[in-house]
Chain A
Amino acid sequence: MKNLIEIIKLKKDYYVGEVTVHALKGVDMVVTEGEFVAIMGASGSGKSTMLNIIGCLDKPTLGDYILDGINISGLSKNELASYRNKKLGFVFQTYNLLPRTTALDNVELPLMYNSAVKSKERRERALAALESVGLSDRIYHKPNQLSGGQQQRVAIARSLVNDPVVILADEATGNLDTRTSYEIMALFQELNSKGKTVVFVTHEPDIAKCATRNIIFKDGVILRESVVRDRTNAREMLASMPVEVD
């Protein structure tokens, strides 16, 4: 398997007033194609900074980050933006769907920023993405007509629509109850089994066990890396859980 993400001696400093905060103090990390990596750590450990850099939202102070064979450390802001548009999919804790906008229009959004995709293709791809997250019957629903889990699935569909090389999820289950969390994790596992690479930030160890590999950050360095042995199958987990009756 080829190395999709390669991080070499990466450092990131923030300047808050006159104080320099060393958020990342030399990180080496590799994610190969088809992996499902969970990044863990306490708050302030540098995991979010790491995800921002992997997501091309931020640039390292020192060191190299090679994504899909391209060193992004030297790219301009605009190049980063079009890189994010073509190579990456984001899923956020707070979904970040556009309010009063249908699921379909929300999912189409990333393709609006890609002038190579025409409106007919855009629609087809958005419909396919919504189908792959099981929301074909909700395409004209607006966020306030959807449950939290459904909203997050729309967000996942949005992250899939541009066919990214990697999906980055930042505490994607943070706002959801346990059952819905496992539903979302089941979806991620399903996508992963179809070959999608997933990098997932979480602080819940149970959720992290759904991944294939865990990377634990502490104080700006990698504390521990481990391949998940008895990996949780979220689908089976759901089956064993009592169905809530409202």
Chain B
Amino acid sequence: MSIKNLFKIALNALLRNKFRAFLTMLGIIIGVASVITMLGIGEGSKVSIQQQIAGMGLNLVTVVPGSQQRGGVQFGASTMQSLKETDVDVILADCPAVQAATPEVRGNGQAVFGALNWPTSLYGENLSYLQIRERSVVSGRMFTDRELSGAGKVCLLGQTVVKNLFGEGADPVGQVIRFKKIPFLVIGVLDPKGLNTFGQDQDDLILAPFTTVQKRVQAITWVQSIYTSAIDSKSTELAAAQITETLRRHHKIKASDQDDFTIRNQTQLLSTFSSVSNILTVLLGAIAGISLLVGGIGIMNIMYVSVTERTREIGLRMAIGGKGRDILMQFLAESMLLSITGGIIGIMVGIAASKIIGSAMAWPIVVLPGSEILSFAVCTVIGVFFGWYPAKKASNLDPIDALRYE
């Protein structure tokens, strides 16, 4: 029998029971659609986390003071004054994997403009800050070298601070605000960045030269952390190693002693989050896979019932010249038509569902290009696998018995 006739026979047989065929397909439709949607959600969460971490600067390598042991007593890291402005210079000079570095000095306090005030954080940085943290100035300008060395009382505001001190959409450039009673001239506004992965508002800050914050606001001699940027995202480990080596030498730490600083990079963070979202994807995919399997068993069940119900038809087909192989192929073709049609509809439903969920949750749902092909292949395999046993049973019937079947 030709393939064309085979599929015509199978299709006619299915069309005789349209509603049943649809219900059988429904299992596959739901299975495939959920596989695509679930993998999409899993992948979407991964991409979303990656984007946010990359937004914080994927090349970022952070140096913070580490805990220190003196005379057997462990001191808390936050009390340490081990990082100095000069550390930044030696890092830049001796670490070829580092392309930029800035010291950071922070201070919390109330920013005041006119009758309005807002609690926020003042960040003292150098000129490399924008490059390292991947930020930009949307209005006004960055502070200059001269303002940095002269501890100029200038600042740039984050969007949240602008909103709370000046109102939505206002341009604060040229105004003077006060932070801990010290007047600062607003020279620029930073780009909006939204919340980070941890729910922290990245726009709630005031940026100023670190010299100003260190000397005029905090009156300290050390820096609280150093942010550096590796030459590319693959070199963060190398940069961390070079910084460790440089700082140990510069701080004159003996080989037997611990570091007096700690280095963190975003790749560690990224890999932690990626592994979490990978687990999520596997979990969702497994649940969806089970529903696909249940759909496949549904096909097997219907095909099995169908073979029994259509015993006389099988007998007739054999009597008029259908070979065992023809009958086998017919039932296989029927189950494959069910599973493949169901699979195609499922893929469309899955993509549509992903789009709807994506827009409803404002979450980037990524339909993996492989997932449609995978689902399609799985459907075909399901059709053959679950159709085989009932089809084999049909093809082994004896035509005489089958024709007499009541």
B399 CB within 8 Å of chain A: yes
Q: Counting CB contacts under 8 A, is A114 at the interface?
A: yes
A contact residues, range: 20 to 34
Q: Tell me which of B4, B12, B316, B322 has the highest count of chain A C-beta atoms within 10 A of its own C-beta.
A: B316
Rounded to whole angstroms, the CA-CA distance of A107 and B319 in the bound complex is: 14
Q: State whether B319 touches A112 (Cβ < 8 A).
A: no
A58 contact set on B, CB distance < 8 A = 400
> Is B213 among interface residues, defined by CB-CB distance under 8 A?
no
B323 within 8 A of A: yes
In the bound complex, CA of A94 to CA of B323 (Å): 22
B2 touches A115 (CB 8 A): yes
Instruction: Tell me which residues across on chain A come within 8 A of B315, comparing CB atoms.
Output: 96
Distance in angstroms from A116 CB to nearest chain B CB is: 10
Do the beta carbons of A101 and B319 come within 8 Å of each other? no
Pairwise interchain contact B16-A57, C-beta atoms closer than 8 A: no
Report yes or no: B403 in contact with A92, Cβ–Cβ below 8 A.
yes
Give the residues in chain A near B8, CB-CB below 8 Å.
112
Nearest to A168 among chain B residues (CB) is B319
Cβ B12 vs Cβ A99 within 8 A: no
Least Cβ distance of B10 to chain A in Å? 11
Q: Chain B residues near A140 (CB, 8 Å)? A: none
Closest to B312 in A: A96
Chain A, range 54-102, C-beta contacts under 8 Å to B: 55, 57-58, 77-78, 81-82, 84-86, 90, 92, 94, 96, 98-101
Judge whether A52 is part of the interface by a CB distance below 8 angstroms: yes
Could you say which of B321, B324, B400 contacts A114, with CB atoms under 8 Å apart?
A: B321
A:158-207 near B, CB below 8 Å: 158, 162
**Residue from the set A77, A81, A110 with the largest chain B CB neighbour count within 10 Å:** A81
Contacts of A100 in B (CB 8 A): 16-17
* List of A residues within 8 angstroms of B16 by Cβ: 98-101
Assess whether B116 is interfacial by the CB under 8 Å rule. no
Question: If the complex has contacts A77-B324, A78-B325, A113-B1, are A84 and B12 also in contact, measured as CB distance less than 8 A?
Answer: no
Q: Quick one: which of B5, B313, B318, B321 has the most chain A CB within 10 A? A: B321
Q: For the complex, give the distance between the alpha carbons of A98 and B9 in Å.
A: 11
Q: How far is the CB of B320 from chain A (nearest CB, A)?
A: 4
Q: Find out whether the CB atom of A78 lies under 8 angstroms from the CB atom of B320.
A: no
Q: Which interface class (under 10, 10 to 19, 20 to 34, 35 or more) fits B?
A: 20 to 34
List chain A residues, Cβ under 8 A from B313.
96, 98
Report the bound CA distance from A112 to B8 in whole Å.
9
Is B326 interfacial (CB-CB < 8 Å)? yes
Asked if A109 is at the interface of the complex by the 8 Å CB criterion, the answer is: yes
Question: With A99-B16, A101-B12, A112-B9 given, is the CB distance from A55 to B2 under 8 Å?
Answer: no
Q: Name, among A52, A78, A84, A119, the residue most crowded by chain B CB atoms within 10 Å (CB to CB).
A: A84
Give residues 295-322 of B contacting A (CB, 8 Å): 312-313, 315-322
Contact partner, B320, options A77, A84, A101, A105, Cβ 8 Å: A84
Inside 8 A of A101's CB, which chain B residues have their CB?
Answer: 12, 16
A68 CB to nearest B CB, Å: 15
Residue from B2, B17, B319, B323 with most neighbouring chain A CB atoms (10 Å):
B319
Compute how far the CA of A110 lies from the CA of B321 in the bound complex, rounded to whole angstroms. Answer: 7
Contacts of B9 in A (CB 8 A): 112
Residue in A78, A96, A98, A99 whose CB lies within 8 Å of B323: A78
What residues make up the interface of B, taking CB atoms closer than 8 Å to A? 1-2, 4-5, 8-9, 12, 16-17, 312-313, 315-326, 399-400, 403
Residues of chain A touching chain B, judged by Cβ–Cβ distance below 8 Å, are: 52, 55, 57-58, 77-78, 81-82, 84-86, 90, 92, 94, 96, 98-101, 105, 109-110, 112-115, 119, 158, 162
Taking A57-B318, A98-B316, A101-B16 as given, write out 8 further A-B residue pairs in contact, using a Cβ cutoff of 8 Å, ordered by the A residue number.
Answer: A81-B324, A84-B319, A92-B316, A96-B316, A112-B5, A112-B9, A113-B317, A115-B5
9 contacts between A and B (CB under 8 A): A57-B318, A78-B323, A81-B326, A84-B319, A92-B403, A96-B403, A100-B17, A105-B12, A119-B4
